[in-house]
Structure 1
Amino acid sequence: MVQPFRGGSAAHYQASLWPELDIRFAVDHVSIEAGAPNFQTLSNAPYRGGWGSGSRFVNWKVPLNYDCSDPSAMMRAELGRWGYDPAMVVGLQTAAHITHTSFAEETGDEFKLLVCSSAGTGNAARAGLHRETFSAYTPGTINIMVLVDGKMTDEAMVNAVISATEAKSAALADLEVRDRSHDRIATGTSTDAVLIAVSQSDQYSSIHRYAGSVTTIGNAIGRLVYETVHEAVRTQGEP
């Protein structure tokens, strides 16, 4: 695990196992550019979420005057200001410290993997309990990006979301992050987001059809998500 942008001392991070990725930090966003061809994506990102494709993945730290009525339009405007092609971006949003974004990477059975997580737990919540609800969108607080160089079926990508979510919840449980409304261990926050981006590169001969915790790829996703969420949450109050 590494937090290369803490203290504002670095604006670029080169992943040792996946140096082709262009990973950059600015005051208000973290950008990961994967280049061509586009990756297949699945996410609940507020900008170009759902099933889709993209070559750049952005986590935007929203300003204090953020308007939750149209998060997609707000982010499109920011992408233009940064000089990014809006059609190539999948965008997450957060109010947490992106300086403490944690990265981890691994190679395995017909895949290469990079995971990064940013986290704040001010709105930590436990799923399954009755609470006051709302329909307006507010920026995600624990944002997880899982980039896979390999081949995965659609079903395996959905399975990867499950593995990532289970690992996030395990990290919060081990850190004893609590839902303040119920004084119970939190399973996430009220506005989390997960992005799975897969290269589907022809350089790999086999395709991953499952991504549960006992598969090679699912186990790796779970471990790296756990490690990065744990580090991002654990250090959020530190300089």
Structure 2
Amino acid sequence: MTQPFRRGALLYESSIWQGLKVQYAEDRIVARLDQPLQTVSSAVYGGGLSTADGFVNWKVPLHYNCSDPVGDVGRMLEQWNLSTSATVGLLTAAKLTHASIAESEGDCFTVFCMATSGTGNAARSGMIREVFPAYSPGTINIILFIDGRMTPSAMVNAVITATEAKTAALLDIGIKDHANGRGATGTTTDAVVIGASQSERYGALHAYAGAATTIGNLIGRVVYETVYESTSTQGEL
């Protein structure tokens, strides 16, 4: 894992996934690929089931007016000359400089993960709480790319595995729900993106992505590592 943008880098190029590049700007991080990915996500813009080759993590101010986030992202994509139909957009108030990246090759796949983390709105799922605004400062955003073939159910399984790994990292760090002091399972505004290339070059189809599978095991590890690093360093320069 690494935090390339803390050292002043403006571009990260994958060493194991040809054509995967991540560019940093003061108000956004943009990941681009040479080929579109099949995606499932909880992203504000382009969420649900989609196809995309561009992924934006947009840093908004703490006082951001969230009345029209989809429209806001769409207008920014046009301003940045990015496709409004093939881009997935996320919002965050976390430090983009502290984005953590990890990537690794498996037996029949390659995995890339990037996480940004701000836990000012940390929360524990399953607790009774007051209704929060649709957007609050903070957010853990996880962008996970898999070069390989996955069934739709395996992609949903990857969401579960990634969420479990995120929660494990937060509990190990000791992040608390501010409302009750118990261990946080996430924040009130977390988002996750799963993107699969569906490439046949590995000759395998992954039907599952739980922790006991090779692909799920690696997904869990890279998500844990990036969430742990981005969260534990959020208070540092």
TM bracket, shorter-chain basis? over 0.9
**Counterpart check, 1:219 vs 2:217:** yes
Opposite residue 23 of structure 2, the aligned amino acid is R
Q: Which residue of 1 aligns with 2:16?
A: 17
Q: Where do residues 187-198 of structure 1 align in structure 2 (5 Å cutoff)?
A: 187-198=185-196
Q: Distance in 1 between matches of 2:137 and 2:51?
A: 22
| Identity within the alignment, % | 52
User: Are the aligned partners of 1:71 and 1:137 in contact in 2 as well (CA < 8 Å)?
Assistant: no
In structure 1, the residue matched to 2:177 is 179
Shifted more, 131-140 versus 155-164: the winner is 131-140
Partner of 2:104: 106
Q: Which residue of 1 aligns with 2:75?
A: 77
1:60-75 alignment, distance < 5 Å: 60-64=58-62, 66-75=64-73
Specify the alignment match of 2:128 in structure 1. Answer: 130
Kindly indicate whether the alpha-carbon contact (under 8 Å) linking 1:93 and 1:139 is maintained by their aligned counterparts in 2: no
- Contact residue 69 and residue 137 of structure 1 kept, 8 A: no
Residues of 1 paired with 2:121 and 2:135: CA distance? 13
Q: C-alpha separation between the residues in 1 aligned to 2:194 and 2:39?
A: 6
Q: Please tell me whether the aligned partners of residues 62 and 139 of structure 1 are also in contact (alpha carbons under 8 angstroms).
A: no
Structure-2 change in CA distance of 1:172 and 1:101 (3 Å):
same
Give the AA of the match of 2:185: T
CA distance in 2, matches of 1:136, 1:142: 15
Q: Which residue is 1:30 aligned to?
A: 29
| Cα distance in 1 for residues equivalent to 2:155 and 2:138 | 20
Q: Is the 8 A contact 2:121 2:136 kept in 1?
A: no
**Judging changes above 3 Å, is the alpha-carbon distance between structure 1 residues 33 and 139 closer, same or farther for their aligned structure 2 residues?**
farther
Aligned-partner Cα distance in 2 for 1:164–1:129: 21
Give, in whole Å, the separation in 2 of the partners of 1:64 and 1:212.
Answer: 36
Tell whether the 8 Å contact from 1:118 to 1:144 is kept in structure 2 after alignment.
Answer: yes
- Counterparts in 2 of 1:152 and 1:30: CA distance versus 1, 3 Å: same
- Secondary structure class of the residue paired with 2:85: helix
Asked whether the equivalents of residues 68 and 138 of structure 1 are also in contact (C-alpha less than 8 Å), the reply is no
Rounded Cα–Cα distance in structure 1 between residues aligned with 2:187 and 2:112: 23
1:90 aligned residue: 88
Shift of 1:226: 0.3
Distance in 2 (alpha carbons) for counterparts of 1:152 and 1:60:
28
Q: Which residue is 1:4 aligned to?
A: 4
Gaps (5+ residues) in structure 2?
A: none
User: Please, what TM-score do these two structures have when normalized by structure 2?
Assistant: 0.97
Aligned residues: 237
Classify the secondary structure of the residue corresponding to 1:5. Answer: helix
Contact 2:119 2:138 in 1 (8 A): no
Amino acid at match of 1:2: T
Question: Could you give the per-residue CA deviations for residues 102-135 of structure 1, whole angstroms, max 9, x where no partner exists?
Answer: 0000101210110000001100000111000146
32, 52, 57: which one pairs with 2:55? Answer: 57
Q: CA deviation at 1:188?
A: 0.4
